[in-house]
Amino acid sequence: MDERIWTAGLVVIGDEILSGRTQDRNVAQLATWLNAQGIRLGEVRVVADRQEAIVEAVNTLRTRYDYCFTTGGIGPTHDDISVDAVAAALGVDVVIHPEARAILEGYYASRGGLTDMRLRMARVPAGAELISNRMSGAPGIRIGNVFMLAGVPHIAAGMLDALTGQLEGGRPLLARTIGCWVAESEIAELLAKVERSRQGVTIGSYPFFREGRTGANFVIRSTSQEDVDACIAELTAGLEAQGREVVDGGI
């Protein structure tokens, strides 16, 4: 029986990402964390701070994948509209979460108190649970298979820590890399042959041009360490049979 593969999609929300003012770091961070949970990141969408764009992206990814994550738009300012958008996508109201309110009241007790704007961070789609945030008080939000994280990477990282081990997933995806000074087109047949030799193995080929010549790194991925190692050995042997030097770990 084929192994169950768990998947996730990500909606990155924010005009600042699309304008280039802010460089997103959450995609790599989330992908790495998901892999450790045995979940594959299958798709990423970057959308503006517009409710209809967020609704469309969330509704597509939450139905296409096992899990849908969002980053950004859950802060205290007027353009933080992710809660409203996700509530609209799910067809529920927006409510003040009593536990979130209590957390914020405690956090801001010595920081000027809980203002109306700060209270916005206690708003959630009706029926939602909270994701703990030890970094800045304001919690993340979990409703159904949708997980709403902060846009600030170190705060999002804390929320992912709180979710570690909480999501159902499969076996983590393992990987090894080798490099070779060769044009990938010259060994395309060898790559395909090695990939076909083991079910569930994928080989990523990443060409580069350095020092006036062409090379490529090859990343072998599988949930089975045995299959990864076997494919590394087979690919290495095939390259060396052509008189090429192989660099373990990549070039």
Average pLDDT over residues 73-99: 95
- Can you give the pLDDT at residue 127? 97
The stretch 189-215 carries a mean pLDDT of 92
CB 124 within 8 A of CB 143: yes
The confidence score (pLDDT) of residue 5 equals 87
> Considering only CA atoms, which of 36, 97, 99, 45 is closest in space to residue 72?
45
pLDDT at 103: 93
Tens-digit pLDDT profile for residues 14-37: 999 999 999 999 999 999 999 989
Expressed in percent and rounded to 5, the helix, strand and coil fractions of the chain are: 40, 25, 35
Q: What is the pLDDT of residue 2?
A: 62
In single-letter form, the type of residue at position 30 comes to L
Q: Is the pLDDT of residue 1 over 60?
A: no
Q: Identify which of 32, 85, 78 has the alpha carbon closest to the alpha carbon of residue 62.
A: 85
Whole-number Å distance between alpha carbons of 61 and 11: 8
How far is it, in rounded angstroms, from Cα 250 to Cα 177?
A: 5
Report the C-alpha gap between 72 and 11 in whole angstroms: 9
For residues 134-140, average pLDDT: 87
Chain-wide mean pLDDT for the chain? 93
Is 173 a residue whose pLDDT tops 90?
Answer: no
Q: What is the mean pLDDT of residues 75-95?
A: 95
| pLDDT value, residue 190 | 95
- List the structure tokens of 234: 């087979």
